[in-house]
Copies of this chain bind each other. A is one copy, B any other.
Amino acid sequence: MNTNQDAQLEALGDATRRAILARLINGPLPVGELAREFPVSRPAISQHLRVLKQARLVVDRPAGNRRLYQVNPEGIDSLRQYFEQFWTQALGAFKAAAEASDHEETR
């Protein structure tokens, strides 16, 4: 099922979302704190967090009056495994192509 990873890659397509994720890697933060550190409004941060949440890249939990967001290690790991598989396939195809090219040159 690669639908989840599609959503994850779509989420990482935006630079602001990547910056949010990179900022959240040091620890959980509330929405207002993130909005203060970025040159966009608070609703924009909320919408980006919703996208990241639907992509399972972050998780949120209520903390009294505020709401803390933090990265979801499972989501990062699934994406990492996806690239691992992709890389091995690409490397295999590249090696096969290189060997075929060698045959071309040495005949």
Residues of A whose CB lies within 8 Å of any CB of B are 6, 9-10, 12-15, 18, 25-28, 70-71, 73, 76-77, 79-80, 83-84, 86-87, 89-91, 93-94, 96-97
Which residues from B are CB-within-8-Å of A89? 25
Question: In the complex, are the beta carbons of A73 and B97 less than 8 A apart?
Answer: no
Known interface pairs A12-B13, A76-B91; 12 further A-B residue pairs with C-beta atoms within 8 A, sorted by A's residue number = A10-B15, A13-B14, A25-B89, A70-B93, A70-B94, A73-B87, A73-B90, A76-B87, A77-B87, A77-B91, A80-B83, A83-B83
Copies in the complex: 2
In the assembled complex, the Cα of A27 lies from the Cα of B92 at a distance in Å of 10
Nearest chain B residue, comparing its CB with the CB of A57: B90
